[in-house]
């Protein structure tokens, strides 16, 4: 299928020249001589690529306005701006607004074709990347036979005919975003946008801009998450991180179903389904005055709680088999022979939950090509042991910070000395020499800390 290119230039000679160059390369070419004609062509069908002259014959609307229009319809559509008398500032502004490239007149046939082909190739790569990422994410499913997972699946089915607001809670890595996507996919809004706003990743001053959008003096508009999610679903991830002052504005949107952009004067009406997620206890945050109680009740219409992986270990074999199949296909390698009866899989705490298990299976899948079952099992044990050691170190650090200084120091000294004694097989002299203490001083320290002996 030939690519559709729209050429917009008020100079008939330039317009004719560019159109002929492109037609000779078998492109489907349309043209427009001014702003109004261009809008008609764009509304008929958004082109695969547009070549736009900055200066047009209509004084109040120019090529920059057409660039904004095309980008607002599809940000992946490449736009090449051309001009014979534009300033550097205009060229920079065009690129900032989303133009793929800026070309000065006069230009050679080779140059215009080079930019067109590169722009189309770049757009194709971006489209393919979006398709692959969407397929990859949507290909994963909720896997498990534990009571908690079966309950979540049944709830998702019941929610398919509802537009109720949902609050998904659970530790990091339990699949809160996946559950939100499944709810959207099963709903009547499935063909509309699914937009994610991760409140934990935003700077304090940008929350309202990201939610509501912004209007600028030059007429440019930055669309916020609420507007982009219109008619679809908005997931506010880690909703607890929204500043207390901004929470009141979110509440007002939920009540009125409308809002104003920053610096805007008109209300924007929206029809969205709101799903929120949190890894924190919102009830506790309400009790301590860190989260608005009225907003909590508006969000918590249908609560869903996801269990940690360590509390549903019966799902681990199913998850491993599932991820082995998916990840070997994605990475183009053979499925690893993982021993699902390995005790370490069930005694490990899994602080990263299902996400950590998925990462483990992917790591083993990639690193264990053509390895024996014994070597794969050893690799998994090494990874789990390393992760467990890091977790223990973090736990020790957290305990130390939670204690008074004297207790924290004693706790650290005890753990440190016990570790050194184990390394030296309980030999006091070697341990004292390594840590730089007199043997008699180390004896006194061990006695004061209640360390009697090391096996």
50 or 333, higher pLDDT:
50
91: which 2 tokens?
Answer: 């060229």
pLDDT tens digits along 75-132: 889 999 998 876 777 878 888 888 998 888 888 899 999 999 999 988 888 777 666 5
140 or 398, higher pLDDT:
140
pLDDT tens digits along 189-229: 988 999 999 988 887 778 888 999 988 887 778 889 999 99
**176-195 average pLDDT score:** 91
The pLDDT value given to residue 171? 93
Residues 332 and 421 in one domain: no
The pLDDT value given to residue 400? 46
Residues 180 and 291 in one domain: yes
pLDDT tens digits along 334-365: 888 888 888 888 888 888 899 989 888 888 88
The pLDDT value given to residue 393? 45
The pLDDT value given to residue 156? 92
Give per-residue burial for 372-408: e unless 16+ CB within 10 Å, then b.
eeeebbebbbebbeebeeeeeeeeeeeebeeeeeeee
Residues 125 and 176 in one domain: no
What separation in angstroms does the CA of 138 have from each of 31, 217, 311, 363, 439?
A: 39, 40, 25, 21, 63
Does the global pTM surpass 0.75?
Answer: no
Residues 40 and 171 in one domain: no
* CATH for 338: 1.10.8.60
**67-72 average pLDDT score:** 89
Residues 301 and 174 in one domain: yes
Domains: count for the chain: 4
Residues 177 and 284 in one domain: yes
Q: Which of 244-258, 311-325, 336-350, 391-405 is the least confident region?
A: 391-405
pLDDT of 262 strictly over 80 = yes
**H or E segment to which residue 132 belongs:** helix 109-139
Domain enclosing residue 415, as ranges? 403-448
pLDDT tens digits along 405-421: 556 566 667 777 777 77
The pLDDT value given to residue 233? 95
Q: Give the span between the Cα atoms of 129 and 407, in whole angstroms.
A: 53
* CATH for 75: 3.40.50.2300
| Residue 167 lies inside a defined structural domain of this protein | yes
């Amino acid at each position: 299928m030939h690519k559709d290119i729209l050429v917009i230039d008020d100079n008939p000679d330039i317009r004719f020249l560019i159109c002929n160059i492109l037609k000779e390369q078998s492109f489907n070419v349309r043209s427009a001589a001014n702003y109004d004609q261009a809008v008609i062509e764009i509304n008929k069908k958004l082109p695969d690529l547009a070549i736009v002259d900055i200066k047009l014959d209509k004084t109040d609307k120019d090529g920059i306005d057409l660039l904004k229009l095309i980008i607002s319809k599809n940000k992946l559509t490449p736009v090449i701006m051309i001009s014979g008398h534009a300033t550097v500032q205009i060229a920079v502004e065009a690129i900032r607004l989303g133009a793929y490239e800026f070309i000065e007149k006069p230009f050679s046939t080779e140059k215009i074709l080079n930019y067109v082909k590169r722009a189309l190739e770049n757009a194709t790569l971006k489209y393919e990347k979006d398709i692959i990422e969407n397929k990859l994410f949507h290909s994963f499913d909720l896997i498990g036979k534990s009571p908690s997972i079966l309950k979540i699946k049944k709830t998702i089915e019941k929610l398919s005919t509802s537009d109720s607001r949902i609050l998904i809670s659970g530790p990091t890595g339990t699949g809160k975003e996946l559950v939100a996507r499944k709810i959207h996919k099963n709903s009547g809004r499935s063909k509309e946008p699914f937009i994610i706003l991760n409140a934990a990743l935003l700077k304090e001053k940008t929350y309202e801009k990201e939610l509501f959008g912004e209007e600028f003096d030059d007429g440019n508009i930055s669309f916020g998450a609420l507007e982009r999610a219109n008619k679809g679903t908005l997931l506010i991830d880690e909703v607890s991180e929204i500043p207390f002052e901004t929470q009141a504005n979110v509440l007002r949107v939920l009540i009125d179903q409308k809002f104003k952009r920053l610096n805007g004067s008109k209300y924007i009406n929206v029809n969205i389904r709101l799903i929120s997620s949190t890894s924190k206890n919102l009830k506790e945050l309400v009790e301590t005055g860190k989260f608005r109680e009225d907003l909590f009740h508006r969000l918590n219409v249908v609560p869903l709680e996801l269990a940690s992986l360590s509390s549903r270990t019966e799902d681990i074999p199913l998850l491993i088999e599932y991820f082995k199949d998916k990840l070997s296909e994605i990475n183009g390698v053979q499925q690893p022979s993982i021993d699902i009866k390995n005790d370490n899989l069930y005694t490990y705490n899994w602080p990263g939950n299902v996400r950590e298990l998925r990462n483990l299976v992917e790591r083993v899948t990639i690193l264990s090509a053509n390895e024996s079952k014994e070597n794969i099992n050893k690799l998994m044990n090494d990874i789990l042991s390393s992760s467990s050691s890091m977790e223990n170190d973090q736990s020790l650090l957290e305990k130390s910070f939670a204690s008074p200084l004297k207790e924290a120091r004693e706790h650290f000294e005890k753990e440190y000395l016990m570790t050194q004694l184990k390394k030296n097989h309980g030999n006091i002299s070697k341990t004292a020499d390594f840590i730089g203490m007199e043997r008699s001083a180390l004896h006194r320290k061990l006695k004061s800390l209640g360390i009697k002996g090391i096996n």
